Amino acid sequence: MSVLTKQAPGAAAALASGGPGKLRRGTARRKNQRSGYLFLLPWFLGMLFTIIPFFASLYLAFTDYNLFTEPNFVGLANFQAMIEDPRLWQSLKVTFIYTFVSVPISLAVALLIALVLNRGLQGLAIYRSIYYLPSLLGGSVAIVMLWRYIFGNDGIVNGFLGLFGIAGPAWVTDPDFSLSTLIVLNVWTFGSPMVIFLAGLRQVPTMYYEAASIDGASRWRQFRSITIPLISPIIFFNLIMQLIGSFQTFTQGYVMSGGTGGPADSTLFYNLYLYQKGFTEFEMGYASAMAWLLLMIIAIFTAINFIASKFWVFYDN
Amino acid sequence: MKKTATTGVPRRIFLGAAITAAGLALSGCGGGSSPSAGGNVELNFVYWGDSNRAKMTDAAIKIFEEKNPGITVKSEYQDSGPYADKLATRFAGGNPPDVLNMANRSLLEYAQRGTLADLKSLPEIDLANIPATIQSRGEVDGKLYGLATGVTTIGMVVNKTITDQAGVTIPDDKTWSWEDYAKFATEVTQKTGGKIYGAGYDVATETGPILFARQRGEDFYTKDNKLGVSEETIREWFQYSVDLRNAGGYPPAGFFEQIGGSPAQSYLAKGTVASQIIPINNFKGYNEASGGNLVLLRMPGETTGERRGYSADPSMLWSIAAKSKHPKEAAKLLNFLINDADGAVETLTQRGVPINPDVADAIKPKLGKDDTAFVDMVAAIQEDELAPAYVYPKGASVVADTLKQLATEVEFGRITPADAAKTFLEKSNAAINK
């Protein structure tokens, strides 16, 4: 985060300096402000589309709204029903496994590739783009469809395993493997944390490494004692973003299973189940309550991370 | 365009806007057509299906517009899955289409929430020629909320090229039992050296167990809209597939990756299975996709069970939204869809055998070999005495999902057929009685 906040003092100073040459500067400032607000306008308008549904869903969470008739207030009934809903627990299980397996792996892969790319390769921009591309596409329908074929019974993965005489499992249709196939897909989209890591690595002053090599520190030691602490704010930022993103996974599960969360609910992500409740079973009240539970879960995990960060995140300034 | 460029809008932004606009235009063409504007009333008409069905439907709509000046029809189509989701959102948003396709399993959910118009209250719809048994499949609490788009049923199709090469005789479908089918399927697998599986039917689609239950004297869904199938019957249905797989007649777990796709995507078309259960109005499509040598058979067990399992079912229904702003015109369109022979000549048996017998007779000479086989089979089945069939209950879509899920659990041996049957009844009853 140091990278992101470093510019802040300068910018603040620029804003605060209204000192000499008041008149001219004043009008310039007002003009700047006006265009600033103008540029912010789309965001404000966009917020309306977020804030209204946001509060509507909070209200609906306490009703039996079924999309077609007027909602009736039912108190905490939706939340009580959740406790006894086995599919809700299944969807939480799927989402948690997915998050806790794929986030650490994809962060590790992202950091590793960033370290490799940071060694002053020729044509860095090209490599960066190649590795970044999947994360732009990963959540898209086409790529998930492609994944289905790659991991299908006649796909290249099993074809490759077949060369060594291994009969690969049914990656997509076997409930024991389907989620791991999606985890691999998620790990493959390490591009956006990688780009952020790369930016972070470039900020680490080379003099530290020079000093360390003079002292005889090994590369691994340098990585552990210089690189990791100095980029720990970046790791922290990536961790939070990845965590939130993966709790909200929807497309991968929807496309892979044709909307069912199958085989046998093994890819029933929380958001996919929420969608099923709302739009195929018409229980929008329940679905709204689920949305708020997810918000609470994400908030709790983010809070835990912020508290834990005090013990391992190092801010240089 | 020129002007925009010269007033100094950065080229990048301008390009971006152009690309966005192009994207919007692209996303707008996801199927559908809006023939010549200028009419006084525009109806929105939605249905599910593929581009082939859309082409035939468009041709019929054109005739409707010619016959009804002042009405234009804006139609949209999608695959059945996304269609169902979009329909729900449109109704919820208070912007329902005027005339629409309704699935058997969703009728009650929509009707009981007051979202559909009573078709009997619309004099534009002529019901004089529509058999009472067909009407009953769209009736809820004495009101008519849906009319069958056509009649169909399920059947077994066998690829004769495969069985001939393997030297396996296809049993007589008038009398064959489920054991006969199992024996036949297993023999095909053996004689093809395991390259082709004899059976490839879908365990998880409810039409199979519905027929199976009827053969055993049970109504899967009862007259008072409850679940009537017994635990034992569901167990047998699952057990049958497990036994057939163990014997080699049915493919191993995980073999089927995509079920319910188009005929061209089917395993029958790929030539990896020799037989499949299909809704027989699709016989033509499957036959064309599979090399043209499919034979259409009756389901096994029809003469060996307690009673006949067959029923002539609506392949889907037409409904009108209660909130339609043009109920009169919508009724005209619906009437056209079921009663107009000129329109039916364009759509033929795409959505089942037309429910008006006069219309069915009128299109008969225009049908090709495969469609004729389909129509003849539906007629032949109805010559025998069939047990009545009923509207699907509320919660039927949850029942369908539950069946799918449990079928997979059984497929991979994660649960026994007995436990699956028990869970199926618990979950289904909970959904229906809610």
The pLDDT value recorded for residue A26 is 67
Inter-chain CB proximity A170 and B91 less than 8 Å = no
Q: Kind and range of the H or E element at B362?
A: helix B357-363
The verdict on a CB contact (< 8 Å) between A173 and B257 is yes
Do A168 and A280 meet the contact criterion of CB atoms below 8 Å apart?
no
Residues 6+ apart with CB under 8 A from B255: A153, A170, A173, B197
> What ipTM was predicted for this assembly?
0.73
Q: Chain A residue with minimal CA distance to B409?
A: A264
pLDDT at A170: 85
Q: How far apart are CA B353 and CA A182, in angstroms?
A: 43
Which chain B residue has the Cα nearest residue A169?
Answer: B254
CB contact under 8 A, A170 and B398: no
Token pair belonging to A202: 């470039």
H-assigned helices in B94-206: 107-111, 132-136, 160-166, 178-191
Structural contact between residues B155 and B277, judged by C-beta atoms closer than 8 angstroms: yes
- Which residues in chain A have their CB less than 8 angstroms from residue B253's CB? 170, 173-174
* B chain contacts of residue A174, beta-carbon cutoff 8 Å: 253-254, 412
DSSP per residue, A216-281: T--HHHHIIIIIHHHHHHHHHHHHHHHHHHHHT--HHHHHHHTTS--STTTT--HHHHHHIIIIIS
pLDDT tens, residue by residue, A198-232? 999 988 888 999 999 999 989 899 999 999 999 99
Residue A43 burial class via C-beta count within 10 angstroms: exposed 0-12, middle 13-18, buried 19 and up: exposed
Contact B140, B391 (CB under 8 A): yes
Average pLDDT, chain A: 85
Tell me what pLDDT residue B35 has. Answer: 42
Cβ-contact B326, B257 below 8 angstroms: no
Nearest Cα of chain B lies from the Cα of A262 at a distance, in angstroms, of 7
| Residue B144 or A253, more confident | B144
Number of H helices, E strands in chain B: 18, 12
Domain architecture of chain B: domains with CATH: 29-152+313-382 (3.40.190.10), 159-309+395-432 (3.40.190.10)
Chain A residues with beta carbon closer than 8 angstroms to that of B257: 148, 152-153, 170, 172-173
What's the pLDDT at B20? 41
Q: B199 with B250: CB under 8 angstroms? A: yes
Q: What is the pLDDT of residue B30?
A: 36
Q: How far is CA A118 from CA A129, A233, B67, in A?
A: 14, 18, 72
Query: Is A300 strand, coil or helix?
Result: helix
Distance to chain A for B199, nearest Cα, Å: 18
Flag whether the pTM goes above 0.90: no
Assigned token pair, A18: 């209204």
Please give the pLDDT value at position B212: 96
More confident residue, A120 or B345: B345
Closest residue in B to A177 (Cα–Cα): B254
Whether residue B17 lies within 8 A of chain A, CB to CB, comes out as: no
Q: What is the pLDDT along chain B (434 residues), one digit of tens a residue?
A: 333 333 334 444 444 444 444 443 333 333 333 444 445 899 999 999 888 899 999 999 999 999 999 999 999 999 888 898 899 889 988 899 999 999 999 999 899 889 999 999 999 999 999 999 999 999 998 999 999 999 999 999 999 999 999 999 999 999 999 999 999 999 999 999 999 999 999 999 899 999 999 999 999 999 999 999 999 999 999 999 999 999 999 999 988 887 656 788 889 999 999 999 999 999 999 999 999 999 999 999 999 988 999 998 999 999 999 999 999 999 999 999 999 999 999 999 999 999 999 999 999 999 999 999 999 999 999 888 888 899 999 889 889 989 999 999 999 999 999 999 999 999 999 999 87
Q: Please count the residues of chain B.
A: 434
pLDDT value at residue A251: 87
Among candidate residues A228, A2, A44, A253, the one with its CA nearest the CA of residue A147: A253
Alpha carbon distance A246, A104 (integer Å): 11
Residues of A in contact with B89 (CB under 8 A): 67, 279
A265 contacts B405? CB cut-off 8 A: yes
Which tokens is A48 given? 């309306």
Chain B residues within 8 A of A67 when measuring between CB atoms: 88-89, 91-92
> Which of chain A's residues have a Cβ under 8 Å away from the Cβ of B23?
none
Chain B contact for A152, CB < 8 A?
yes
On chain B, the residues whose CB falls within 8 A of the CB of A176 are 412
Contact status of A148 with chain B (Cβ, < 8 Å): yes
Tell me what pLDDT residue A33 has. Answer: 85
Calpha distance B29→B21 (Å, rounded) = 13
Which chain B residue shows the shortest CA-CA distance from A85?
Answer: B427
Cβ of A175 within 8 Å of Cβ of B414? The answer is yes
CA atoms of A108 and A124, how far apart (whole Å): 20
Confidence at A256, pLDDT banded by 50, 70, 90: confident
The token pair at B368 is 């090709």
> According to the model, what pLDDT value does residue A4 have?
38
pLDDT tens-digit series, residues A36-76 = 888 888 888 888 888 888 999 999 999 999 888 889 999 99
Q: Given the structure tokens 């969470």, which residue do they identify?
A: A61
Beta-carbon contacts below 8 Å between A and B: 71
Structural contact between residues B43 and B61, judged by C-beta atoms closer than 8 angstroms = no
What residue of B is the nearest CA neighbor of A268? B405
